[in-house]
Structure 1
Amino acid sequence: MQNMMQATTIALVDDHPLALHGLKLVLAKVAGTRIVGAFEHPRGLLALLRTTPIDVVILDYALGVTEPPTVELIRKIHLEYPARIVVYSAMQGTFIQRACLDQGAFRFVQKRQSLEDLVGAVRACMEAGRRFIG
């Protein structure tokens, strides 16, 4: 389990600037966390992951970009980095949720759910601790 003295690092990806700003405001208030990056495109996240250990990635499913497709991005992060992934999306349907979870997402939270549900997903990631990739 992660050292409780060390803040859980979080990176955010959402192509809507207002949603991204709102996520930053809400999650910055979660005790024991620190936002280390917020991006409108996955390129910024991937660059950060190459240089900075990230504990939790909160990723919008519908990013409005075609490269890489979201499920491939989830798989890449899951296989190459020790971050837990929370997909946060307005998209509904068990097919999308299952695809994300099958590719390595730790949780899937719909945007129509409460902010408490999103915070709960982040806390679940914190409690699960950091994955180790050898």
Structure 2
Amino acid sequence: MQITLLIATVINFFLQRNVTSKSNTNVWRAAAWYTVAYVVLTFGAAALQALYKTPIYELLMITWRMGATGEAVADVVTMLINALISCAVFFPIFKIIFRREVVVVDSHRAIASELSGLQKRWPRSGWQYCIDKDERT
């Protein structure tokens, strides 16, 4: 169980860093902060479960007399609460860990490069097309 969780966490790290955030920061520093955040969140979520898990199970199984169905519903409710806590905490932390650093380049060179790329993709821009069309009529 723990090995599969570790593999899923490593895959999630790279997906969050490269795909979701498109981060260009130091991968080792991000991995260290991700590990710290993951450990703190795991223990924090487990500690919070001690506050809400028992009352939910007692409400559904005993107070509402749902028995085994109440246990299954309580499992789903506690799982959803745990997922919500994880998302609410991890999202702002990921914004800090997986930020994009601005790379300053020569603006004239960057603009020229972008324009040449556009020229290759669309040899005739919309304005040129309109001007050429007007000249023909």
Q: TM-score, normalised by structure 2?
A: 0.26
The structure where helix makes up a greater share of residues is 2
Greater relative contact order (Cα 8 A, min sep 6): structure 1 or 2?
2
* Higher CA-based Rg: 2
Q: TM-score, normalised by structure 1?
A: 0.26
